Amino acid sequence: MAKAEDTGGRPLSRTEITVRLVVLTLGTFAVLTPVLWTVLTSLKTAQQTLQSPPVWLFTPQWGNFAEVLQLVPFQNYALNTAVVVTGVVVGTLLSCSFSAYGFARLRARGRNAIFGVLMATMMLPSTVTLVPTYIVFNKIGWLNTFLPLIVPAFFGSAFFIFMFRQFYLSIPKEVEEAARIDGAGYVRIWWSIFLPLSMPVIATVTVFTFVGTYNDFFGPLIYLTDESKWTISVALSSFGGSPKIGPQLHMLSAATMIAAAPSIVVFLLAQRYYVNGISVAGVNK
C-alpha cells in the first residue's frame, strides 16, 4: 500500500492515521445509520418493529421481502421503470454525444454563443418550465404514457453535452483527418470513431442518467395515471398510505430497500465513473 499522506502530500504519522481512520469510521457509521436502521427494520416481525427499547437480536425475517413482492406488483413497476430508464439513457447518449461532436470539432458562426446559452440552461430551475411543458404534453395526449419522460432526453442535456465535448476536445486532430482522407462523412466519423473512443464518458453518463432517472419522482408523478404505468419511485411514494403495506413498518422498510437497491448496486459497481464524472465538472468550474 502507498504510504499514507495528507492533502499536502506530507506523510502522516501513525497516530494521525489512526485518528483519521477512527473519525472516518465513526462518520461512516453515522451516515449509514438511516439505511442500516431501515434494513434492520425490514428484517423484523411486525411486533418487533413496535418494541421499545428496540430489539437488536432477532431471527431475520427474509420472508418480508417475498411478502412485499407478493402484495404489490413490483415486477410491473420494475418493467415500467426499465422502459423509462432505457429510453432516457439511450436518448441522452445519442443526442448528447451527437451534439457534442458539433460543439467540439466543427466550426460554424454562433457556435460558441449557442454553447453559452446551452450551459446557462443548467441554472434554470425546472419549476419555471414545468407548467407550460406539462400543458403541452397534456394537450397532445401524452398523459399516462412514458413519452413525456423519455422524449426530452433525445434533445440533449447541457451537463452531459459538456462532458462529451470536453472529451472530444482532447482527441487529436489526426484521428479525424485520417478518416476524412478515406472519405468518411462527419456522421460516420462521429459514429464509428468518436463514439467508440468515448467509452469512459459513455459509462459515466449512463450511470448518472440511470440513477437520476431511476430516482425521478416528479415526472412520473404528474404524467403517469394508472397504477399499471407507475414507476418504482411513484409506487414507493404511495405505500405510506397503502392499506396493504403502509401501517406496517417492516413491510414499508422492506419495500423501501427493494426500491433503493438498484441505484445502490449500480453506484457500487460504477463508483469510479462517479469520481471521473465529478472531476470533469469540478476541474472546469
**Which residues from 136-175 bind other proteins, rule CB under 8 A?**
138-139, 141, 143-144, 152, 154-157, 161, 165-166, 169
The window from 61-69, 82-90, 117-125, 196-204 that contacts other proteins (CB under 8 A) reads 117-125
Among 15, 57, 131, 183, contact with other proteins (rule: CB under 8 A): 131
The window from 57-65, 82-90, 115-123, 198-206 that contacts other proteins (CB under 8 A) reads 115-123
Give the C-alpha separation, 162 to 281, whole Å: 9
Of the candidates 91, 103, 71, 89, the one whose C-alpha atom is nearest the C-alpha of residue 169 is: 103
* Euclidean distance between the first and the last CA atom of the chain, given in angstroms as a whole number: 32
Q: For residues 210 and 89, is the Cβ–Cβ distance under 8 A? A: yes
- x/- track of binding to other proteins for residues 45-84 (CB under 8 A): ----xxxxxx------------------------------
Tell me phi and psi for residue 11, to 5 degrees.
-65, 140
The cell for 12 is 502522516
**How remote is the C-alpha of 141 from its chain's centroid?**
28
Among 38, 45, 61, 76, contact with other proteins (rule: CB under 8 A): 38
Among 95, 198, 204, 206, contact with other proteins (rule: CB under 8 A): 95
Q: Does 5 bind other proteins (CB under 8 A)?
A: yes
Tell the smallest beta-carbon distance from residue 185 to other proteins (Å). Answer: 8
Tell the smallest beta-carbon distance from residue 194 to other proteins (Å). Answer: 11
> Which residue is it, cell 468550474?
285
The window from 61-69, 82-90, 99-107, 195-203 that contacts other proteins (CB under 8 A) reads 99-107
Q: Does 183 bind other proteins (CB under 8 A)?
A: no
Three-class SS of 29-65: HHHHHHHHHHHHHHCCCHHHHCCCCCCCCCCCCCHHH
Q: Does 26 bind other proteins (CB under 8 A)?
A: no
Three-state secondary structure call for residue 122 = helix
Q: Does 10 bind other proteins (CB under 8 A)?
A: yes
Between residues 83 and 94, which has the closer beta carbon with respect to other proteins?
94
The window from 62-70, 82-90, 197-205, 224-232 that contacts other proteins (CB under 8 A) reads 224-232
Among 13, 28, 70, 192, contact with other proteins (rule: CB under 8 A): 28
Q: For residues 111 and 102, is the Cβ–Cβ distance under 8 A? A: yes
Q: At what angle do helices 232-239 and 249-269 cross, to 10 degrees?
A: 150
Q: At what angle do helices 158-169 and 111-120 cross, to 10 degrees?
A: 140
Q: Does 1 bind other proteins (CB under 8 A)?
A: yes
Between residues 49 and 80, which has the closer beta carbon with respect to other proteins?
49
Among 43, 89, 202, 260, contact with other proteins (rule: CB under 8 A): 260
Q: For residues 178 and 168, is the Cβ–Cβ distance under 8 A? A: no
Between residues 120 and 199, which has the closer beta carbon with respect to other proteins?
120
Q: What are the counts of helices (DSSP H) followed by strands (DSSP E) for the chain?
A: 16, 0
Is the C-alpha dihedral spanning 284, 156, 150, 79 positive or negative? negative
Between residues 107 and 183, which has the closer beta carbon with respect to other proteins?
107
